Every structure is written in C-alpha cells, then in structure tokens.
Chain A
Amino acid sequence: MLNDTFDKITWLLLAVVIAALAALLAMNHGAGDGKAAGLGKAVEREMAYRARIELIGKLYGPVEELRKAGKNQEALLKLDELIRKYPGEAHGHILQGEILREMGALDEAVASFEAGVKLNGDYVDAKSPLSRRGTIQGLVDEGLKSVGGRAAANPGNRSLAASLRRVNYLKSRLAGGCE
C-alpha cells in the first residue's frame, strides 16, 4: 500500500483533502450557521407580524369606517361575521370590546377585551403598534369602580363576582402578569 513514493504522495494528498474538507465543514457548522438561522427566524417573525397588521387593516377597515361614521350597531354586526370567520384572531374581540363599551355594555366589553387579550398579548404591550393599554386601563378603572361597587354591595351575586374577576384579569395583564 505504501510501497513506493507515488503511493505515499497519493495517500498524503488524500489525507490533506479530507482534512481540508473536515475543517470547512466544522467552520460552516459553527457560530455563522446559528446566526443565519436566528436571523431567518427573526425575519420570519417580523414578516408574520407585519403581515398580520396588514391583514388586520384590510379585514377590519370596513368596521373602523362604520365606527367613524357613528354606526356602532352595523359595525357590531359586521364584526360578528368576522369573529366567526377568524375565531383565533384577537383584533375582532378588541374592537368589539371598544364598541360595546361605547354602547354602555360595560360587563360585555370587559368580557370581550378579556377574550382578545387571552388570544394575543400585543394589546397590553406598550411597544406594540396594536397596543390598547390606555383603553384597557380606562376600562379597568371604570370596571373596578362600577362592577367593584356593585359587587361589594351585593356580596352573594355570582354574576357580578365573575365580572369583577374579568376586570382583575385585565388589571393583572396590564401589570405584566402572564396568561
């Protein structure tokens, strides 16, 4: 096998090539590859987030237009269709909560915000373009005063206690509590 010089040179060259290949593979498998994958995931997340915002604008645009025109009930009917079509999308619940609050249905508004925030925490995140922290804070303040007052005056009332639990849930999410 290693009888003559030619064999020795051939085996040596082969060993050099194998070593070089192994070194190349090791380098590509290192930190550089992780960065690329990490970057890919971040880009994917960003793209998905932007796509969601774009989709929300498109889907709920007609609802927002109805609200601007003061047609809250028509907006609710439209939202009903959208919530059934996209049950996992939180935005419909948030919009519905805003409308119900404007229409004087505080308990139902709280329930709707709770459903929305449970589906997506972006709405309590101050940095999110979808953030509704201010609105939710206002709702919590009003809820604690109104629902809290009624619940305190009627300690055995289970419906008021359940409503107050929902207000407190929103309060905890604003304080940074997790689902």
Chain B
Amino acid sequence: MSNTGTISEPEIAVSLEDVRKTYQLGEPVHALDGVSLEIPRGSYTAIMGPSGSGKSTLMNLVGCLDTPTAGAVVVDDKDVRDLSSRERTRLRGSEVGFVFQTFNLMPRLNALENVALPQLFQGISRGDRRDRARELLERVGLGDRIDHLPNELSGGQRQRVALARALVNDPAIVLADEPSGNLDTETESQVLDLFAEFHGGGTTMIVVTHERHVAERAERIVHLLDGKIERIEELDGVEEK
C-alpha cells in the first residue's frame, strides 16, 4: 500500500469515457447511458443512486468483471475492451480489490487463507502469501483470529477479513459494494474507519452505497440516475456540473 502513490504509476486509477452498457432483455435496456468519470489515484469516491440506476453495472465495469457495449473503461492505463478474458482476469486479480455486502468469504478457508486467496491465483509462493496475509490481518485488528473459519467470526470481523483480502495484491482500486449493509452501527463505523485509514495510506477507494452517512465518508459522491451521472458532489462543499 505504501507504494500506491509512487511517481511511476498513472495519476488516474480508473477512467470511463462515454461508457454505455445495453442489455438485450426483449427490448434493449440501457443500464449505463453515456457515463464519463475519472477516479484519481488515492481518491475516495462514493457512488449513490436508487435501484436500477446502474450502480451495479458501473461496479462490474470498473471491476473488470464486464465489458462496456460502447465507450472505454481504462483501469491502470489499460483499456478493458482491448483485453482478452484471461488478461482481464489477471488485471482484476492484481489491480482490483472487492469488498461485498455479504462478505463473500470462502467458507472452508480460514481467515488467513481467505486473505491469501487472491495471491494464490497470482502464483505467489505459500510462504510469502501467508506473511502478507498475516500482516494485513494484523492491520485490520484480527491478528488473533487468523485460524478462524468465516462462520466463527462476527459480521464486522468477516468484513475486515474481506477488506484485508481486497488489499492483499496492492490493487489500483478497492471496490466496496454496500460494505456496511449487513453490519450494525458500531461495526459499521469500525469498518468505515478502516476504509478511511487505508485511504489515508494512499489506497484508491470506491464505495457503492445508498446510505448518505456512508457516502459522506468519501471525498466526493457520484449520484447516478437512470444510467447517467446526475451530479457529482464534492464534499468540501463545492458542487460540480
């Protein structure tokens, strides 16, 4: 994480240029209808919007899980549309970290193994993986829980394991989808504090949420409506567009 802000890396972590995503469900549905957005490196962005506004589609595109129908999604200076499926998976593995509402930990792997899982697919040796995973678990305050299975952990602990896993490959961006949706108020603030802490350390954060107080932790809020950016709210008070 400490090297996230080094000079050799591009200033823009993710950029979207007039991105459209159309699903053919009987008649075409425009999930995203011309979205342009730049996520600077080291920024903390929240994306808000009602159901069906295109939040999930945007997440999938930025997370290299999907490709746009038109327009360009550039992650870490690579246009996702130019990549093969395999290269896209590699980019996702190394440059995107996911945090999900339902934690999505592997049920039969303990905390340490869950955190180390992305590095397994990167071909990093077992010893290095475990060192890195232990370090991150200690940073999220779970150094004493590394041998526990997910079902032996509380919701907040699970989400902290998920956050550690998202960070393990030193990604260009961390994508969190309703990260506090399944947490009570107290653990929610613990997790959001950790987000802030890692952001402070230079990690680029994108949080998708429908809760205002979660979004307000970010530097800016992108409001989506009907597949378009309704407005971008800079939380230092200035409003663009």
A binds B: no
A positions within 8 Å CB-CB of B: none
